[in-house]
Amino acid sequence: MKNPKLPTLTDILEAHQRIKDIINCTPVHTSRSLNHALQSQLFFKCENFQRVGAFKFRGASNKLERLITEIRPDIVATHSSGNHAAALALAAKEKHLGCQVVMPENSPPVKIEAVRGYGAEITFCKPTLVARETTLKEIVEKTHAVFVHPYNDFDIIAGQGTAALELLEEVPELNCIIAPVGGGGLLSGTSIVARSLKPGIQIFGAEPAGADDAFRSIKAGKIIPSINPNTIADGLLTSLGDLTFNCITRYADDILRVSETSILEAMKYLYERMKLVIEPSGCVPLAAVMEYPQKFKSLKTGIILSGGNIDFSSLSSFLG
Amino acid sequence: MKNPKLPTLTDILEAHQRIKDIINCTPVHTSRSLNHALQSQLFFKCENFQRVGAFKFRGASNKLERLITEIRPDIVATHSSGNHAAALALAAKEKHLGCQVVMPENSPPVKIEAVRGYGAEITFCKPTLVARETTLKEIVEKTHAVFVHPYNDFDIIAGQGTAALELLEEVPELNCIIAPVGGGGLLSGTSIVARSLKPGIQIFGAEPAGADDAFRSIKAGKIIPSINPNTIADGLLTSLGDLTFNCITRYADDILRVSETSILEAMKYLYERMKLVIEPSGCVPLAAVMEYPQKFKSLKTGIILSGGNIDFSSLSSFLG
C-alpha cells in the first residue's frame, strides 16, 4: 500500500483557525464519583454540545471552507448514517450551497430530521456501503455535486483533530486519550494532535466488538472491511479508509473492543451520573475504560464524547 | 400573617462567599434552534451539573456552614423526596456529621440510592406531608439531630439564591427569569437576587397545574397547601412555607401553571436538542415558555434547570 499524504499538527492548527468562530469550543466535564469508582481521572470532551450534536461539524466546516476557497462548488454531496450528513448540511446551508445526502433507510429518525431541518435533499438507500456508494455516484452524476467523504479525507481529518487540540489545550497534563473509531476520521485527527503535542501519550481507539474492523485491520496491517457489522453504536458501522488506516497505524497505540453490554452501562452512567445525553457510539470510549480499568488506573485520560444524537423515544429499546 | 425576616441580597452574596469553593459554578447553555422556534433568547443555568445533580446542594451547604459555626451539631436530619436529602447527606458527609433522612416510600430509586451512597441513614414513610413530619419528629427525638428544613429556612433560601446570582453575573442583560416552584426555596432566592440586582426584571415561578398550590396561595394572599398533588414533577409536590410565601409575594411577578404534556415536551426538547438530562421538575420553566410564548417573545429569559436526577429506566414511563 502506498503512503498517502497525512495531515500534520500544522494542518490541524490551521483548521482550528479556519473554523474556530463557526464551531462551539465544547466544555470538558469530569465526575468525582466515576473517578472514584474507576480509580482514574477522566476528562470528557463534550462534543454532544457541538453544533449538530456531534464532532462531525468540525470536519465538515473545515472541508467546506477549503472547497469554497479553492473551487467554489454550487452543491456538495455525501453519504452518511447521520451526523456527517447533518454537519455537511448545516455547513452548506450557512454558506448558501446546495447539499445532497444519501442516507441508509434505517438511519435514526432524529438524524434524518436534523438533515432535513438543515435544508439538505435526502435520497434513501439500502443500509450497505455498496448501496451508499452506488446511490451517491448517481446523485453526483445528476447534480454535479462535489462529494465530501465522511472520514477518508485530508481536510475532514484535520477538522476532527481540533476536538483533541482543544482538549489538550485545556487539560495539558493528559497522559492518555481515547476516541471512538468507525471510519476513523476522529481517531486519526486525535492521534495526530496527541502524538505531536505529547509524544509519550497513550492513544487508544475504542470500537464495538460487533464492528471491529479497525482492530482487525491494524493487527493484519491492511484494511479488512466490516462484513455485516452489528452494534447499537450506529455511528461506528463504517470501515477504515486508506488515509485513516495510515494515520491510526502510524500514531495510535491500540484499538480496544467493547461489548454491547458495556456500551449500555457507559450510556446509563453518563446519563444518570453526569446528566449527559450521549449516543451509543459516543459511549464506546468510556465502555473501554470500564472493561479495561487496569489500563487506565491512576492515569489522566481524555475521552472524546463524540455526539449526542439519539431519539428520546428510541431510548425505550435500550431500557430492557 | 406576621412578616418573618427574609434574606436580602447581602445574605445571598455572603452565602456565595461561604459556599463557592464547595459548589460547582454551573455552566449556562443556549440553543439556537430553540431560540429560533420560540422567537426568544433563552439562557439555561444548568444545575443538573451541580453536585448531587441539583441546586439543593447550594442551600444545604450554606445551612451546614452556618450551623457548624453556630451550634456545631453532631447529626442533622431532614425529610425530602430526594434532592434536598442527597444534598444534605453529601454536605454532612464532607463535614463528618451524621445525617438522618426521612423519605417517602415512592421516591425515585436513583434519589434513594444517592442519599444512601452519601452515607445517610434513611427512614421511609408514607408519601404525605403529615407522615413525613411525624416520622421526622420521632427521628429527631431519638437521635437529637438538628432538623434542616428543605426550603422554609433563611439560610436555605439564601443558598438557593446563589444560582440566580451566578446566572445574572454571567448574563447581566437578562430581562426575565423563571424558576420552578415546589416549596419555593429556589424561587424565593431567585426572586430576591433578581429584584435586587435588576428592579425592572420580570420574575416568574413555574409549577405543574396538578400541583398549583403556589399559584392559588399567591392569588388568595394566604398559604393554601396542596391536597393530593398529581404530577410527574416529583420535586414539586411540596407546598409553600411562610418564608417562601412571603418572598414570592413580595418579589415575584406571577406563577405560571403548565400541563403534564408540556413538561414532557420540554423534557424531550432538552434531551434531543440540548443533550441535557433534566428531571421533570427542572423542565417546568421551559414548559412555561412553550405554553406562553407571547410572554417571552423577544425577551432575554434566564431559566434555572433545577436538577437532573432521573432513573435511566424510569424514562420508559415517559416514552408513551
Task: For chains A and B, count residue pairs whose Cβ atoms are closer than 8 Å.
Answer: 55
To the nearest whole Å, the CA of A270 is away from the closest chain B CA by: 10
Contact B49 A275 (CB under 8 A): yes
- Is residue A2 one of the residues assigned to a domain? no
- Is residue A292 one of the residues assigned to a domain? yes
B138 C-beta neighbours (distance < 10 Å), count: 13
- Is residue B234 one of the residues assigned to a domain? yes
Mark out chain A residues that contact chain B at CB-CB < 8 A. 27, 29, 33, 48-49, 53, 110, 117, 267-268, 271-273, 275-278, 308, 310-313, 315-316, 319
A30 and A64 together in one domain: no
To the nearest whole Å, the CA of B270 is away from the closest chain A CA by: 10
Contact predicate A153/A188, CB 8 Å = no
Which of A280, A315, A37, A309 lies closest to B311 in space, CA to CA?
A315
Which of B122, B147, B172 is the last residue in one of the domains? B147
Distance CA B274, CA B101 (A): 34
To the nearest whole Å, the CA of B10 is away from the closest chain A CA by: 31
Which among B49, B275, B315 has the least Cβ separation from residue A319? B315
Using an 8 Å CB-CB cutoff, list chain B residues near A311. 272
pLDDT at res. A113: 87
- Is residue A92 one of the residues assigned to a domain? yes
Which chain A residue is nearest to residue B109, measuring alpha carbons? A272
Place of cell 418573618: B4
Place of cell 397545574: B209
Contact predicate B257/B228, CB 8 Å = no
B189 and B242 together in one domain: yes
Q: What is the span of the domain harbouring residue B23? A: 9-50+154-319
A186 and A231 together in one domain: yes
- Is residue A3 one of the residues assigned to a domain? no
Contact B311 A276 (CB under 8 A): no
Which among B27, B277, B319 has the least Cβ separation from residue A316? B319
Which among B276, B313, B316 has the least Cβ separation from residue A277? B276
Which among A29, A308, A316 has the least Cβ separation from residue B316? A316
Query: How confident is the model over A131-179, as pLDDT tens digits?
Result: 989 999 999 999 999 999 999 999 999 999 999 999 999 999 999 999 9
Structure-block grid coordinates of residue A166:
482543544
Distance CA B282, CA B271 (A): 12
Secondary structure class of A21 (helix, strand, coil): coil
CA distances from A65 to A115, A258, B250 (A): 20, 36, 54
Contact B48 A308 (CB under 8 A): no
Distance CA B151, CA B244 (A): 8
Which of B308, B297, B292 lies closest to B255 in space, CA to CA?
B292
Which of B147, B182, B215 is the last residue in one of the domains? B147
What is the β-pairing status of strands A254-258 and A300-305?
A: unpaired
A128 and A163 together in one domain: no
Using an 8 Å CB-CB cutoff, list chain A residues near B48. 275
Strand ordering across the sheet containing A75-79 = A121-125, A98-104, A75-79, A146-147
Contact B275 A319 (CB under 8 A): no
A235 and A294 together in one domain: yes
Is residue B2 part of the annotated active site? The answer reads no
- Is residue B3 one of the residues assigned to a domain? no
CATH number at residue B292: 3.40.50.1100
To the nearest whole Å, the CA of A206 is away from the closest chain B CA by: 22
B67 and B140 together in one domain: yes
Using an 8 Å CB-CB cutoff, list chain A residues near B311. 272
What is the β-pairing status of strands B98-104 and B121-125?
A: parallel
B317 C-beta neighbours (distance < 10 Å), count: 10
- Is residue A1 one of the residues assigned to a domain? no
B175 and B275 together in one domain: yes
Contact B49 A312 (CB under 8 A): no
To the nearest whole Å, the CA of B189 is away from the closest chain A CA by: 24
pLDDT at res. B130: 87
A304 and A166 together in one domain: yes
Is residue B81 part of the annotated active site? The answer reads yes
Which of A147, A167, A201 is the last residue in one of the domains? A147
Which residues are CB-neighbours of A31 under 8 A, at least 6 positions away?
A: A42, A44, A273, A274
A246 and A124 together in one domain: no
B140 and B276 together in one domain: no
Which chain B residue is nearest to residue A32, measuring alpha carbons? B51
Q: What is the mean pLDDT of each run of 10 residues along chain A (320 residues)?
A: 86 98 97 92 98 97 96 93 92 95 88 91 90 93 95 98 98 98 97 98 97 96 90 90 97 98 96 95 98 96 96 74
Mark out chain B residues that contact chain A at CB-CB < 8 A. 27, 29, 33, 48-49, 53, 110, 117, 267-268, 271-273, 275-278, 308, 310-313, 315-316, 319
Q: Which of B40, B61, B80, B81 does the annotation list as catalytic?
A: B81
The pair phi, psi for residue A108, each rounded to 5°, is: -60, 135
Q: Which of B32, B49, B275, B310 is most worth mutating to test chain A (most A CB atoms within 10 A of its CB)?
A: B275
Please tell me the total count of domains within chain B.
2
Contact predicate B88/B101, CB 8 Å = yes
Distance CA B131, CA A314 (A): 39
B109 and B234 together in one domain: no
- Is residue B2 one of the residues assigned to a domain? no
What is the β-pairing status of strands A41-46 and A300-305?
A: parallel
pLDDT at res. A121: 96
Which chain B residue is nearest to residue A264, measuring alpha carbons? B312
Give the CA diameter of chain A: 56
Strand ordering across the sheet containing B75-79 = B121-125, B98-104, B75-79, B146-147
B144 C-beta neighbours (distance < 10 Å), count: 11
In tens digits, what is the pLDDT along chain B, a chain of 320 residues?
A: 567 899 999 999 999 999 999 999 999 999 998 999 999 999 999 999 999 999 999 999 999 999 999 999 999 999 987 899 999 999 999 999 999 999 988 888 888 988 999 999 999 999 887 898 999 999 999 999 999 999 999 999 999 999 999 999 999 999 999 999 999 999 999 999 999 999 999 999 999 999 999 999 999 999 999 888 889 998 898 899 999 999 999 999 999 999 999 999 999 999 999 999 999 999 999 999 999 999 999 999 999 999 999 988 777 777 65
Which chain A residue is nearest to residue B307, measuring alpha carbons? A275
Q: Which residues of A are catalytic?
A: 56, 81
Place of cell 457541538: A50
Q: Which of A45, A275, A281 is most worth mutating to test chain B (most B CB atoms within 10 A of its CB)?
A: A275
A134 and A161 together in one domain: no
pLDDT at res. B237: 86
Distance CA B283, CA B207 (A): 10
Distance CA A151, CA A255 (A): 18
pLDDT at res. B320: 59
